Amino acid sequence: MRSEEPVTFQNDRWTLQDARLHLRPYTHPHPEIAIAAVASPAGPRLAGRYGHGLLSIGATTAAGFDVLALHWDVMEERAAHYGVSVDRDAWRLVGLMHLAESKEQAYRDVEHGILDWFDYFQHTAAFPQMAVGDGTSVRECIDFVNESGIGTIGTPDDAVEQIERLQKQSSGGFGAYLQLAHDWAAPAAKFRSFELFARNVAPPSRVRPIPRSRPRRGHARRGRSWRRAIWPPSPPRPLSTRPRSPPRVARLAADSGGRLPPLRRSVG
């Protein structure tokens, strides 16, 4: 993805002969890469070695939450060892949420599908780190989500408390909070939850950002804010050396002898 020249490469699986991408990456020099992690240090070690981002998909599970700060220590150590830079702004924490204007409304919303979700993780999913207890009623499942910290079912204020809890546990901040998709609530209630998050949780006045310092090679930068998931910065686009076709308006003018054709108006 980073090479301007064709690539020739061969191993036990692939043979590339003068290979190049069909489309060049939009993000320069290549799409951002994040390595997944739950509880073990394998993900942070790999991300730190290559200077990639970290995707903590187990951030709110008991095992994943306890090692958040340790994972970043591993990132820093590996980055320093290999002479690369890692950035807290590229650290994404994943969690579960459903929000409504009141807790009572949020509890009613999740009656739609939370029991099916719990049944799947209790009896089907091969994901031991995602232990969800033995609840069999809607209220037992709601209480487990809120009391264990694996997620938030409630109001935007409850969501702010959850994110501040994760910020504190990360010991320096992280770059983005990502909501794990689920079908606890019906589509309309789920979309309303996203809207409440965007309007009442994401604005900068709700969660106090953590100060950051400038990154250095082999070191890490403190997280600017988890809000990058809501308002990501526009990636720089490299200048293309390939000739570009003239805009459509210019082509129309050229085709009509330098004058644009008259607009067609529809008469109703």
| Mean pLDDT taken over the chain | 82
What local confidence, expressed as pLDDT, does residue 209 receive?
A: 62
Of residues 144 and 213, more confidence is placed in 144
- What are 72's strand-pairing partners? none
Domain boundaries, the chain: 7-234
| Residue 29, preceding peptide bond in cis (omega within 30° of 0) | yes
Q: What CA–CA distance (Å, rounded) separates 49 from 261?
A: 59
Q: What CA–CA distance (Å, rounded) separates 179 from 193?
A: 11
Is the model's pLDDT at 259 over the cut of 90?
Answer: no
Of residues 31 and 199, more confidence is placed in 199
pLDDT in tens, 129-166: 788 888 899 999 999 999 999 999 999 999 999 999 99
Residue with tokens 């924490």: 93
Assigned superfamily of 7-234: Luciferase-like domain (3.20.20.30)
Q: What CA–CA distance (Å, rounded) separates 150 from 152?
A: 7
